[in-house]
Copies of this chain bind each other. A is one copy, B any other.
């Protein structure tokens, strides 16, 4: 079944929306992801996570927000790194708001952001909030969810995939999580021979701007991808998409269609 909106013709899309299909909006980034992975990892993974979820619940996946908010040093290495191409927060918010309003205009009543770039979250949230506020006077009955796919990897899976200990999602930039998923979904875009097997980055408990570049490892990755495997990627995809499917069904089942 086709789930990606942009590959549908207008009439098929309209029919699905008319049947009550939720719309999932992938939110990624164009951001360096080390020497072993391409720039669009976040966009690709959020799109595929949304796609897998949509398959399970009969949703539509919107064309992704390919560019995201600025990379921050403590979660993405910093916006100064080569190739990282970012939008201001206000722009991420406006795009998110616009897409919510557009899909509602089309007839959708249940919309979910599937975030694949940590830094996006607050700006997506604000976009969703502004869209709902703008709809206020029209008495719309609409719900918007905001999901970061890694939040649906449960403790048990973490324990299984990180047998030597887990350093937290914030350091999983270019590490085992993303690399495993890429190995599972797009192995031709990963070059494991270029992985730099270094200890996790040590970053302060605050931000400073302009960033001090020396705090980010030369590879641009905050933790090592050496332990990444396609099998781990398969498990992560399945676990996260199952969790998101359950959450979305649970929330959007409440909406009267």
The residues of B that contact A106 with a CB separation of less than 8 Å are: 82-83, 85
User: Among the listed B9, B38, B88, which residue makes an inter-chain contact with A8, where contact means beta carbons less than 8 Å apart?
Assistant: B38
Distance between Cα atoms of A72 and B14 in the complex (Å) = 19
Chain B residues, Cβ within 8 Å of A63? 30, 39-40, 43, 66-67, 85
A 59-76 contacts with B by CB, 8 A:
62-64, 66-67, 69-70, 72
B10 and A81 contact, CB distance less than 8 A = yes
Q: Does A177 contact B (CB under 8 A)?
A: no
Q: Judge whether A102 and B90 touch: CB under 8 Å.
A: no
A188 to B137, CA, bound (A): 42
Q: Determine whether A175 belongs to the interface, using a CB cutoff of 8 Å to chain B.
A: no
A144 CB–B CB distance under 8 Å: yes
Known A-B contacts A66-B63, A138-B137, A206-B151; the reply to A13 vs B102 at CB < 8 A is no
> In the bound complex, what is the Cα–Cα distance between A33 and B7 (angstroms)?
11
Known contacts A85-B103, A132-B209, A206-B247: does B30 contact A9 (CB below 8 Å)?
Answer: no
Within 8 A of B (CB), among A126-142: 126, 128-130, 132, 136-138
C-alpha gap A38/B66 in the complex (Å): 19
A189 to B, closest residue via Cβ: B7
Within 8 Å CB of A189, what residues of B? Answer: 7
Q: Is the CB of B208 within 8 A of A82?
A: no
Could you tell me which residues of chain A, from 23 to 42, have a CB within 8 Å of some CB in chain B?
30, 32-40
Given contacts A34-B9, A82-B10, A83-B10, whether A206 and B102 have CB atoms under 8 Å apart is no
Once the chains bind, are B93 and A90 in contact (CB under 8 Å)? yes
User: In this complex, which of A83, A84, A106, A126 has the most chain B Cβ atoms within 10 angstroms of its Cβ?
Assistant: A83
A87 contacts the other chain (Cβ, under 8 Å)? yes
The answer to whether A147 and B98 touch across the interface, beta carbons within 8 angstroms, is: no
What is the distance, in angstroms, from A163's C-beta to the closest C-beta of chain B?
23
Residues of B within 8 A of A11 (CB): 35, 82
Q: Which residue of B lies closest to A136 (CB)?
A: B138
The reply to whether B64 and A13 contact each other, CB–CB distance below 8 Å, is no
| A55 at interface, CB cutoff 8 A | no
Of the A-B pairs whose beta carbons lie under 8 Å apart in the complex, a sample of 11, sorted by A's number, is A5-B83, A6-B66, A8-B38, A9-B39, A69-B122, A79-B129, A85-B99, A125-B209, A129-B209, A145-B209, A205-B247
